[in-house]
Homo-oligomer: A and B are copies of this chain.
């Protein structure tokens, strides 16, 4: 049983807070994390809404999130499923993800005009 195409994921106990905060500090990565709360996505579906980001760029962001322990990226046949490591994050950093996800996402929602 050869094709073990698994990427490395940090253990829950060794997740580093500042790495998680950094991974979440990028708007496009954070938006993806928000979408992942709805459920796992295949990589192609991780594209920003309507955006057309090169595969390598997207893959790089996924790597940042994965190495910080925010997401899991597992092979499934010919594609990959990306999912939020919610329980792990909640276990190690209680309340953090909820606070981040509950916070107002856009800088401000242009009121008037």
A84 within 8 A of B: no
A12-44 residues at the B interface, CB under 8 angstroms = 13-14, 16-19, 21-22, 24-27, 30
10 smallest beta-carbon distances between A and B, as pairs: A22-B25, A95-B99, A21-B25, A96-B99, A93-B103, A16-B107, A17-B103, A21-B21, A99-B99, A18-B25
Which residue numbers of A lie inside 8 Å of B, CB to CB?
13-14, 16-19, 21-22, 24-27, 30, 92-96, 98-100, 102-105, 107-108
* Between-chain CB contacts (< 8 Å), 22 pairs: A13-B108, A14-B107, A14-B108, A17-B30, A17-B100, A17-B103, A17-B104, A18-B30, A21-B22, A21-B24, A22-B25, A92-B104, A93-B99, A94-B102, A94-B103, A95-B95, A95-B98, A95-B99, A96-B96, A96-B99, A96-B100, A96-B103
